[in-house]
Every structure is written in structure tokens, then in C-alpha cells.
Amino acid sequence: MPERQQELNSYRTGPDENGHFGIFGGRFVAETLMPLILDLEQNYKSAQQDPAFYAELDDLAKHYTGRPSPLYFAERLTEHCGGAKIYFKRDELNHTGSHKINNCLGQIQLARRMGKTRIIAETGAGQHGVATATVAARFGLPCIVYMGAKDIERQAPNVFRMKLLGAEVVPVTSGAGTLKDAMNEALRDWVTNVDETFYIIGTAAGPHPYPQLVRDFQSVIGRETKEQMQEREGRLPDSLVACIGGGSNAIGLFHPFLDDKSVDIIGVEAGGHGLETGEHSASLAGGAPGVLHGNRTYLLQDDDGQIEEGHSISAGLDYPGIGPEHAWLKETGRVQYVNATDKQALDAFQLCTKLEGIIPALEPSHALAYVLKIAPDLPSDHLMVMNMCGRGDKDVFSVAEHLGVKLT
């Protein structure tokens, strides 16, 4: 729908009152959950009018998470590329090691406001699970994390971390035993324990109001970036690059810039073994619109509308869907969506570690791979910001395996 682009005065007004971004989003849930998400929406609206809610959240962001996260000039990487000036937004320095904590603190504050006494979450790589277990520990609430049995195997350090934090990690063996199945299982728990349970969804997807909630809580990334770039360079960046699984770090960085037409915005999906192999997690590039987990969005699916498994070297990106706002931003053309393969991400991971002394998570390594691809051809006054949304400590074991190194 290219004509839509001309009509829009702003890309920042969504979703509408029914949770739609264009045709995407919505509230596709079982009736049992419908009253709960309406209640959540009402409570979020009232929290938005409450300065005390944000005062407490800001205080936690500053003293617990460690915000603002730095905007760092990646000097040696910039030299290496010989083109654009590359900055990292360092959300990997947050408490718990990724951007996920921004959202978890916001949602648990809502849970407390609503008098909920039990927290559930799904997790893929374990970053969201760890962040949820962390905030649940901080506020003394029991926490159950659903995690695919396969992911439990490849993310052992995060599983142990969650358990140390007092969370119960439930292995999910139904379906393929990965992130989408963990989300199904969390929804089944929620349907069963509706009265006392708050479901902290980790990405900017799910039924309305979740995509909006998560985006709002993650937008601190973009707001800080705007301010910090103004301070350092006296102007807006020229481009933003972020990796996309469900898309929460990306929408957090992008959203405050959507109406700044001079800023090129690029989302990098996980290309897995390459789009042509069919083994990837690039829902926008290789999927079609459909309905799953409460929203309409782009999904990896077969000819019969059955959901297909995503593949990525990064457990945090292999989700067969994507947040509905990204689906809409793709259709409007405001954001450009590309992808990077497992191999490219692995190369970028190693280069960044050696040149900058920063071990990135495999998720932002995808964004970095694309930065490495385009930065050399851009002029030296081009300001590029990449969201370093997670640190790679959790990935060293699986990276070692991919590189054929045996750790004892």
C-alpha cells in the first residue's frame, strides 16, 4: 500500500483503539483471556496518567538498571570499515545484560498496580526469562518461566541464572520445543490461572495492548539516543540499525525517530542458513500475513497456514513471527527490513570482540553484520547508530561449538 505513505502525517500515532497498526495487531485471543487484556489496557491507561508510576519507573531505570546506557563511538570498527561513523547504543550494559529489563520493570510495576501475585513469562534465548526472574525477585513475586526444551539445552547458563533468581523454569516439549511453543504454554498457563497471574510478554508482539506496552517501555532506548547524539554531534543520526526477532529492541530504538524523515531506519532479521534454504527466521522477508499469539502479523507458515519453525544461530531470534508494528512499518515503507545469515553474524561477533573489546550477543551481531556490509560505502560524516541490545556472555559456549572449540 504505497499510497498510504503520502497520507501519513505521523508514524507514531498507532495503535488505534482496537490495537491495530494498519491491518496488523488486534486481539486474537480466547474469550477467557479477553476480559484480562481489556483490564490490562484500562490499567495501563490509568498508569499513563499517573506521574508516580513514571517516577518510580525512572528511579528503577537509573539505580537498578543503570540507565541511561552510553552512546559509544566504535572508533576501531569505524576505522576498519573506513566509511560511516559507527555508534553503539550500549543496552548490553544494563543490569541483566540486555534491553529486556526495560520492559520487565515496566510490566511488573503494572502487575503490582493491578494486585497480581504471580508472574509468568516465555523465553527463547533466556534473556527475557532472566530479566523477568530478576524483577520478580526484586519485588518478591513467584515467577514461572516457560522455555523450549531445545532452548534449555543451548542456553544452560541462563537457565541456571533464572533458577538462582528463584524462578521455576518449565521445559516445554510440545510442538517443536522452542520459543513459539513456550509462548503457547505460557498462554495456556494464563488461561488456567487468570485471577492472580500477570503474563510478562518479552517482545513487542501478542494481543493488544502488549505490542504498545512493550514498545513504550523500550522507547527509552531511542529517546536517550536522540538526546545523546544531539549532545555529541549536535544533530540527528543519519541511520539506525537494529536486529529483529520479535522486534522489541528495534521498535524501542526506532519509535522516537519514526517521524524524523531524514533518518534511515533498518531492521535486520535472522537469515539463518540463507533465505533460499528455507531455514531462517526472517518473517518479513520469507513469511506472509497471518494470525498467531494474539495478533495479525507476518508469520513463517506453509501453504496450509500451519506455522513453521524459524531457524537462527541465535535462540533469541528464531521466532516465526514479528511484532505487528514492524509488519506495518514494512508495508508503509518507513523502515527497511533486511537480513543477515548465521555465518555473517558469527563473523561480526568475532570482529567486534577483537576490535572493540565488546563481546556482543549473537542477536545484535546480526545488526552488526549489516553495519559492516553498508558502512564502508557511506561517507565519513554519516552517523550510524546500532543497538547493542545484549552482551554475549551467554553465547560463548554455543559460539565455541560453532567454531569447533572444545571448552572443558
Partner 1 sequence: MTTRIDTRFAELKQEGRAAFVAFVTAGDPDFETSLSILKGLPGTGTDIIEIGMPFTDPMAEGPPIQASYLRALEAGQTMHKTLDLVRQFRAGDDTTPIVLMGYYNPVYHYGVEKFLSDAKTAGVDGFIVVDLPAEEDEEMCLPALEAGLNFIRLATPTTDEHRLPAVLKNTSGFVYYVSVKGITGAAAANTTDVSAAVARIKAETDLPVAVGFGIKTPQNVAAIAAHADGAVVGSAIVDCVKDNLDEAGRPTAELVPHVLEFVKSLADGVRSTR
Residues in contact with partner 1 by CB under 8 A are 18, 26-36, 174-175, 180-181, 184, 187-188, 191-195, 288-294, 296, 299, 301, 303-307
Return the closest-CA partner of residue 355 out of 68, 15, 81: 81
Q: Minimum distance between the CB of residue 295 and partner 1, rounded to whole angstroms?
A: 10
Question: What is the distance between the alpha carbons of residues 340 and 269, in angstroms, rounded to a whole number?
Answer: 7
Question: Nearer to partner 1 by C-beta: 8 or 34?
Answer: 34
Q: 3-class DSSP state for residue 58? A: helix
Question: Nearer to partner 1 by C-beta: 253 or 300?
Answer: 300
Reading the block at residue 324, the C-alpha cell is 505487528
Measured over the CA atoms of residue 217, residue 218, residue 219 and residue 221, the dihedral's sign is positive
Question: Nearer to partner 1 by C-beta: 194 or 405?
Answer: 194
61: how many CB neighbours lie within 10 A of its CB?
23
Q: Minimum distance between the CB of residue 291 and partner 1, rounded to whole angstroms?
A: 5
Q: Minimum distance between the CB of residue 86 and partner 1, rounded to whole angstroms?
A: 39
Reading the block at residue 331, the C-alpha cell is 508495508
Q: Minimum distance between the CB of residue 307 and partner 1, rounded to whole angstroms?
A: 5
Question: Nearer to partner 1 by C-beta: 10 or 18?
Answer: 18
Q: Minimum distance between the CB of residue 288 and partner 1, rounded to whole angstroms?
A: 7
Reading the block at residue 353, the C-alpha cell is 570482540
Question: Nearer to partner 1 by C-beta: 180 or 394?
Answer: 180
Q: 352-386 burial string, b = 16+ CB within 10 Å, else e? A: bbeebebbbbbbbbbbbbbbbebbeebeeebbbbb
Q: Minimum distance between the CB of residue 179 and partner 1, rounded to whole angstroms?
A: 12
Question: Nearer to partner 1 by C-beta: 11 or 328?
Answer: 328
Q: 3-class DSSP state for residue 273? A: coil
Q: Are 258 and 219 in contact (CB under 8 A)?
A: no
Place of cell 547504543: 89
Q: Minimum distance between the CB of residue 198 and partner 1, rounded to whole angstroms?
A: 15
Question: Nearer to partner 1 by C-beta: 3 or 31?
Answer: 31
DSSP labels for 315-332? TTT--S---HHHHHHHHH
Question: What is the distance between the alpha carbons of residues 43 and 39, in angstroms, rounded to a whole number?
Answer: 6
